[in-house]
Structure formats: structure tokens, C-alpha cells
Amino acid sequence: MGYQKKILITGSSGLVGGVIGRSLSDSHDIRGLDIKSAEEDAWDTVVADTTDLDAVLPAYNGVDTVIDLSARLDMLESWEVIHGNNITSTYNALEAARLSGVKRLIFASSNHATGMYENDHPYSAIVAGDYKDLDPEAIPLITTDMPVRPDSNYGIAKAFGENAGRYYSDHFGLSVICLRIGTLNAPGRPLVPRQFATLLSHRDLVQLVSRCINADDTVRFAIFYGVSDNKWRFWDISNSERLVGYRPQDDAEIWRT
């Protein structure tokens, strides 16, 4: 067996961390970092508060790539909690990566960094499941070059993370790839009309993350939308296709009844 990259997953006990960790554990050396460890995890977890830089630094020792998932996920969370937890945890992940000589950090951003676009037509109709007079082949796609439009305190923190990642890439040379993750849920299928457009299946998530881990060193900073190949997808994925070879396999329409 060849060299296995050491991958640190922050927030490893959550849903996304579990999906990624279990799928990559055969091909990579996985380490977790979380405020708690999950009994079913097949990897060692450093238990620490991600808002405490000194406490998390040991977890970064010898790590090649960090997958930073640490965040409170409640869209209605107060600014005090988002500021104290999410923004601080994101900064600490970047700073710990820099101090430890990590080569690449993959930041779990979110579609909520641009969620206000969904108030505009045709996206508002699509998320409501109203496809009348709409051609899925003619939808103007939302690209990562368009301005951020956060829809919540949570989205603001994700926009912060993207910009902080840009700074750490430009100023310190850390390779940072931000993934604006769509809808990823435990069943791995759409549960409400919006999710027929926004679904990211488990296997497409794993493929995208794997492509980012193994991306060429010339990828110094990038933002990608994490979404499956859904018929009603309105986020552009052409840059991830071009830069890292992402080819989503699933389309939410297969669950349409």
C-alpha cells in the first residue's frame, strides 16, 4: 500500500464528518477532532473545544489535509453563538493549520452564504417546486464569482470563512478549498421540494471531497458548490469539474414519485 495521507476532520462526530470519515478510512489515515467522540467512529478522535486554539493544536500535528466541518448548524442561531463558536472555530482551524505546516484545508462552507438568491425568480419558483413555464436547461446558474448574499447569521459565518481562507491562501500559502455544501441529510435523498434542486448525495459528497484532497498543488484557492447532478440544480459546478474533475453521479429526480 502506498502513502496514506493523514486527514484531520474537525466536527468529525457529525453527519457529514461520519459520511466522509467512513468512506475515506480505507484509503487515508483519518483523525477526528470534536467536542465529543462518536462510539461508532473507526478512527481516533481528539476531544477538544474547537474555540480553544491551544487545545486543538495537537490534533493538527503531522496532518496533510484538514477537512473543517466544525460549526453550530442551527440556521436560527443567535449572532452571539455564531460569533463565539462558528467564526472562532473557523479562524482556529486556519491558524492551527498554518502553525502546523498543513498543506491544504478544505472548508465546509454552505449554500447559505448565497441563500438570498433563492428569493429571486426563477430560483424562488424552483425551491417551491413550481416548475411551470421553466426549462431546466435554460436556468441562469448561480456561480461562485457572483456576490455573496448570506441568508442568516450562519451564512454570514460561512462567508467569513471563505474570505479568511482567501487571506490564509494569499498571505501564508495555505491551499484552501471552500465547499458550499447543498442539502446533505441522513437519508441521502430529497425530503421537500427545494431539495430536488439542492441535494448533495452521500457518494457525490465523498467524490467531491476526495477530488479536493487529491487536487493538484496549483489549486491554491477555490470555491465550489457541493451539489449533485440534479435536473433542477441552479448552482454552477463548472469550476469544480475543470479544476478537480468533479463528476456528480446522482440526480434527485430518481426519488421523484
- Exposed e or buried b per residue across 70-89, where buried means at least 16 C-beta atoms within 10 angstroms of its C-beta: bbbeeeebeeeebeebbbbb
Query: Hey, what's the cell of 22?
Result: 467512513
Confidence of residue 2 (pLDDT cuts 50, 70, 90): low
pLDDT digits (tens, 9 = 90+) for 81-103: 999 999 999 999 999 999 999 99
pLDDT digits (tens, 9 = 90+) for 219-243: 999 999 999 999 999 999 999 999 9
| CB-CB contact of 47 with 35 (8 Å) | yes
Is residue 72 predicted with pLDDT exceeding 90?
no
In angstroms, the CA 146 to CA 195 distance is 22
Position 3 scores a pLDDT of 72
pLDDT digits (tens, 9 = 90+) for 9-55: 999 999 999 999 999 998 999 999 999 877 667 789 999 999 999 99
In angstroms, the CA 123 to CA 119 distance is 7
Confidence of residue 251 (pLDDT cuts 50, 70, 90): very high
- The DSSP symbol for 224 reads E
- How many alpha carbons fall within 13 Å on the CB side of residue 71? 28
Please state, rounded to an integer, the average pLDDT across all residues of the chain.
Answer: 95
Positions annotated as catalytic residues are: 154
Position 74 scores a pLDDT of 82
Highest mean predicted confidence (pLDDT) among 16-30, 42-56, 63-77, 201-215:
201-215
Which residue, among 86, 84, 104, has the nearest Cα to 168 in the 3D structure? 104
* Domain boundary assignment for the chain: 6-255
| Percent above pLDDT 90 for the chain | 91
Architecture (CATH level 2) of domain 6-255: 3-Layer(aba) Sandwich (3.40)
